[in-house]
Amino acid sequence: MSAEDARPEIPAGGASQEEPEPPAPEGEPAPDGDIGFADPDEGDFDEGDPDYGLQGEEFADLPFGRPRQSVIYAPHANINTGSVHGGQRVENRGGAAGTGGRRVEAHEGPISAVEILDAQAGFAEPDWFPQALRELDSRLLFLTGEPGTGRRTAALNLLRRHSGGSMALRAVDGDMDFASWRPKHRDTRGYLVDGLLPDYPLKPGMVRHLQSLLSTADARMVVVLPDDPQLVRRLSRDLHVTPVRCAPPEARAVFDARFAEAVPNPAERARLLALLEPGLLDELLAPELVPAQVAELVAAVAAAEDGGPDLAGIQDRLSFLAEDEVPDLLATLRDDADGLAFLLATCVFEGLDHRVVRAEAERLLALADGRLHSVLPEGADGTDEGGGRERQRTPRPNPQFVFRRSLDELLRTVRAQCSPREIRSNSGYTYAVEAVRFTRHRQAEAVLRHVWREYGHLSGLLTDWMADIRAERELTEPVGRVMGLAAGWGGGRRALQHIRTLAESNRRTSRTMAAYALGMAAGDPVLATEVKYRLSLWSVQRSWQLRSTVAYTCGTDFGASRPEAAMRLLRYVPRGLPDENERTVDRAVRDALRDLFASGSQATVFRHLAEWADGEGPLADVALRAFPQLLQHTSWCQEQLVADGEFAPQIIGLVHRTLNDDELFAATCSSVILWCRMAEWGELPQVAVETLLTALAGDFRHGVLRLFVEIERSGVRDSAGLAIARDALNTWRHGEPPRQPANGGPHPNGRTS
């Protein structure tokens, strides 16, 4: 197995190591509709397009590791695995989470209850809300507004209010074709379309047909659109619909509603407000503030409840005051190459240890080779203006001088600070960091966006610098995020060209960054179409690098928010060839399946996985190899078995198949024995184990025999299912009839059936 075949950092997560990475031990488990594409012979193509000229099998059928982990099963418990100092706080949050544990907004599929409840919490009802509720009586509402004005929050509240408080809401991607879309889920009462793109223009007949479909399904739909006057006029004139403009409520009303939600105690709210300078709150709550900015102000004020920072400096931390200060900040650094390099490094690696930030700043400064110096000494370019006599050069600071700039001076120069010492951990050890953060929130993004747009030559330098970082997860993720954001800052038909260069690299780290970048870029409704278009092309190409990048991307936020699209893309990626590079691709697909499964898309992933396993070829092989990993996400599988759910027969059938496969037996056996150990801690896993083992005992083939022997030898005296395994083995060894519990009576080990 090659180094590339090691488990990738994306989307698996885990320890960050230099390439190559050791493979996982063999046999051990590691913890609707088509998407359209343009014909290359038609439309807006040219020979400069990197995907121009695909033909033959490359254009045929175009579709549209993680280290081992120990598991501690302790329901409703808090577990400390290291030293603890001071108080503790626990916050339980659900919802789909993408790579890294962040909850992501759903762009396709069910909207999580957490997102719906978050939208409802502290919602200040604007003046236009009753009008929008009346418009939604027609089943279809178009909602326009500027970004940050609370369009999505208002849309979720509209749908929930109009559906009688239903949580059965789904997101529909903005590139859908209304002509072919159908409400396929009977229990869904509301659909949210976040950004409708002009690929499939609406017509009056289509709108009426859509309203009829929604009426039949007893559902409603809100389409969120930008505040484009031409678009609004076209909707009103051609479609005879009345878009509602999402004007945010007064900033003070939003603040009061959110603050009451964040700090329920009126006395505590009064105490926190009294800490502010007189008149500061009125000054900050300017009329032009949008709800997203007010929410940040509320969070800053409420943070004092948990011993947060002194509120006297609250103005220095609000992101919506950063944008106007960027030009002045750059002006002060114009003649300071060290400061510029440190500023840019802090922008990209904000939150990491100051030693990491400074090291990357030094590397950027060396790579710039003078391009960050506004003035070079005379004669530095090799010219001689003195008639053969070399003129005296203006001295400049020695770049090798180790005491050139102190850390405190650099921090003050770029308006950043070192956070107090924090203890962090990876899969193997803990370590201390003093993270560099800007004083003002989101200053990093504001600076990078400004320099990327205003200084054209700088973008190439930054791209070269970020593309050559070390193969460490804490570096690749922020770089991928910045490159994804940069796609939106640049725009144009080549918005993703810098990402494609990474996707074609032989370096796993570069392909990992490309996956992060594509996942970030897909959050932009306009770029999302190009991201899906490029991924669909790459998924069928010969290049194993591009196909592995597709798999990595499906395991990021892109896949978590679009699970159906991710599964359709993954279908075309594996080839099943006996080649080290193809094994790298297969492993990337399996890791993507595992991360999609863990992100909350269990039913979607398992439905496709079972379909793949029923076939033949590379897809079936990938599905069977991925299945033991999915078994380790125990709750969903166990609930299916106990409730005799839709997928219970497939789970039992796949356990049978993988146990009977000599290569897959060890992984499946380990997962089942893990179930047996966990069953000691709860009723659900206990019943699930007994249900599974009873079904396996009814079809006693050699794989089940080996499993039951391993359970008997597992060393756990009273593990769940031990009696079932022993009964089956006694029947096989001695011909004794199995001891079945009568009428729900106790098993020989004391449990009830």
| pLDDT value of position 403 | 54
| pLDDT value of position 667 | 93
Beta bridge mates, 244: 143
What whole-number percentage of the chain has pLDDT above 70?
75
Read off the amino acid at residue 420.
P
Assign 99 a pLDDT band (cuts: 50, 70, 90): very low
| pLDDT value of position 549 | 96
Q: Strand, helix or coil at 564?
A: helix
CA distance 588 to 508: 11
Q: Are 372 and 365 in contact (CB under 8 A)?
A: yes
Taking 90 as the threshold, does the pLDDT of residue 665 lie above it?
Answer: yes
φ/ψ of residue 71, rounded to 5 = -115, 130
Out of 8-12, 154-158, 259-263, 544-548, pick the least confident: 8-12
For residues 59-63, give the mean pLDDT.
Answer: 46
| pLDDT value of position 720 | 66
Taking 60 as the threshold, does the pLDDT of residue 167 lie above it?
Answer: yes
Nearest to 291 by CA among 255, 262, 322: 255
| pLDDT value of position 529 | 87
CA distance 660 to 652: 13
For residues 181-186, give the mean pLDDT.
Answer: 84
Structure token pair of residue 105 = 């907004």
Q: Strand, helix or coil at 287?
A: coil
Q: How far is CA 533 from the centre of its chain?
A: 19
The larger pLDDT score, comparing residue 288 to residue 512, is at 512
Taking 50 as the threshold, does the pLDDT of residue 742 lie above it?
Answer: no
Strand order in the sheet with 220-226: 109-110, 169-172, 190-194, 220-226, 140-145, 244-245
Residue 389 makes CB contacts below 8 A (sequence gap 6+) with: none
Structure token pair of residue 661 = 């496969």
| pLDDT value of position 125 | 85
Q: Are 142 and 133 in contact (CB under 8 A)?
A: no
Taking 70 as the threshold, does the pLDDT of residue 88 lie above it?
Answer: no
Query: Three-state secondary structure along 321-366?
Result: HCHHHHHHHHHHCCCCHHHHHHHHHHHHHCCCEHHHHHHHHHHHHH
The larger pLDDT score, comparing residue 593 to residue 713, is at 593
| pLDDT value of position 121 | 84
User: Could you identify the residue written with the tokens 């400069």?
Assistant: 48
Q: What single DSSP character describes residue 75?
A: T
CA distance 117 to 172: 19
For residues 175-202, give the mean pLDDT.
Answer: 79
The larger pLDDT score, comparing residue 566 to residue 402, is at 566
Nearest to 418 by CA among 340, 346, 361, 470: 346
Could you read off the pLDDT of 489-528 as tens digits, one per residue? Answer: 876 677 788 888 889 989 898 999 999 999 999 988 888 8
For residues 566-570, give the mean pLDDT.
Answer: 95
For residues 301-315, give the mean pLDDT.
Answer: 63
For residues 445-469, give the mean pLDDT.
Answer: 85
Assign 392 a pLDDT band (cuts: 50, 70, 90): low
Buried b (16+ CB within 10 A) or exposed e, 63-78: bbbbbeeeeeeeeeee
For residues 163-172, give the mean pLDDT.
Answer: 88
| pLDDT value of position 118 | 84
Assign 377 a pLDDT band (cuts: 50, 70, 90): low
Assign 54 a pLDDT band (cuts: 50, 70, 90): very low
Assign 653 a pLDDT band (cuts: 50, 70, 90): very high
| pLDDT value of position 652 | 93
Taking 90 as the threshold, does the pLDDT of residue 626 lie above it?
Answer: yes
| pLDDT value of position 538 | 95
Q: What single DSSP character describes residue 589?
A: H
Assign 717 a pLDDT band (cuts: 50, 70, 90): low
For residues 741-748, give the mean pLDDT.
Answer: 39
Taking 70 as the threshold, does the pLDDT of residue 705 lie above it?
Answer: yes
Could you read off the pLDDT of 173-183 as tens digits, one per residue? Answer: 877 777 778 88
Out of 2-6, 544-548, 587-591, pick the least confident: 2-6
Residue 451 makes CB contacts below 8 A (sequence gap 6+) with: 330, 344, 458
| pLDDT value of position 753 | 33
Mean pLDDT computed over every residue of the chain: 77
In terms of average pLDDT, the best of 243-252, 356-365, 420-429 is: 356-365
- Angle (deg, nearest 10), helices 473-490 and 443-454: 50
Out of 379-388, 523-532, 633-642, pick the least confident: 379-388
Taking 80 as the threshold, does the pLDDT of residue 621 lie above it?
Answer: yes
Buried b (16+ CB within 10 A) or exposed e, 163-173: beebebbbbbb
Assign 536 a pLDDT band (cuts: 50, 70, 90): very high
Strand pairing category for 430-433 and 244-245: unpaired
